[in-house]
């Protein structure tokens, strides 16, 4: 029986994006994978990719930074898989700083233009997750540009992505951070944040 070897950058991309990088967008429904989460999915990611995620958090896999496809896989490890593996814990955000740096560098160099639309969405997600207003402004700008330059059949999807980015921007603009992270990070919520958390979004955390 064939034994699975250590996962590669291509395995990361195939798992998360399916045929999306070849087609521009994924041919199958992915919202449950990307935004649904849950114990079963979180455990699958931990089992298959946990070692790679830990390497990435520790600053490893630097060879993945050189090409845009492998850089995107590294960003997924740092910015998406962490949130599944460590849901509700401080470690869910341990890869954020590196992911943001990789995203900013790729955009500044123009590497992002080599990616299909779905790849550009996830390359920009670290900016959406940033507790930094300047990066939030940039994330909204990036999603506006994507919406303006992508095929008409993706307009509804990318409009939702833009709304998602704008929501994150507005929270950071108001509070300077994401209040839903306070408990996991050991931060004390202000009265205003406590009121917001009663009904505000928690983005799966």
Residue 204, pLDDT above cutoff 70? no
Q: What is the per-residue pLDDT across 17-60, written as a single tens digit (0 to 9) for each?
A: 999 999 999 999 898 899 888 999 999 999 999 999 999 999 99
Torsion of CA 48, 205, 73, 49, to 10 degrees: -10
What's the Cα-to-Cα distance from 193 to each of 93, 157, 168, 171, 181, rounded to whole Å?
Answer: 19, 30, 14, 10, 11
Over range 162-188, report the average pLDDT: 97
CA end-to-end span of the chain: 39
* Of 203 and 132, more confident: 132
Q: Does domain 9-199 have CATH number 1.25.40.10?
A: yes
Domain assignments of the chain as residue spans, ordered by start: 9-199
Percent of the chain with pLDDT over 70: 97
What number of CA atoms fall less than 13 Å from residue 100's CA on the CB side? 17
Q: What is the per-residue pLDDT across 129-154, written as a single tens digit (0 to 9) for each?
A: 999 999 999 999 999 999 999 999 99
| Burial bucket for residue 71 (CB in 10 Å: 0-12, 13-18, 19+) | buried
């Amino acid at each position: 029986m064939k034994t699975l070897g250590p996962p590669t950058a291509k395995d990361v991309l195939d798992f998360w994006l399916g045929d999306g990088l070849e087609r521009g967008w994924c041919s199958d429904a992915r919202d449950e994978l990307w935004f649904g989460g849950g114990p079963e999915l979180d455990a699958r990611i931990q089992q298959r990719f946990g070692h790679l995620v830990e390497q990435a958090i520790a600053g490893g896999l630097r060879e993945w930074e050189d090409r845009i496809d492998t850089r995107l896989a590294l960003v997924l490890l740092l910015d998406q898989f962490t949130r599944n593996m460590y849901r509700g814990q401080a470690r869910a955000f341990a890869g954020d700083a590196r992911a943001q740096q990789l995203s900013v560098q790729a955009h500044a160099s123009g590497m992002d233009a080599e990616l299909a639309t779905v790849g550009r969405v996830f390359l920009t997600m670290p900016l959406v997750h940033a507790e930094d207003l300047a990066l939030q402004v940039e994330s909204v700008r990036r999603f506006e540009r994507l919406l303006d330059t992508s095929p008409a059949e993706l307009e509804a999807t990318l409009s939702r992505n833009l709304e998602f980015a704008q929501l994150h921007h507005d929270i950071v603009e108001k509070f300077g951070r994401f209040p839903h992270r306070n408990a996991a990070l050991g931060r004390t919520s202000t009265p205003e944040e406590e009121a917001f958390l009663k009904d505000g979004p928690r983005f799966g955390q």
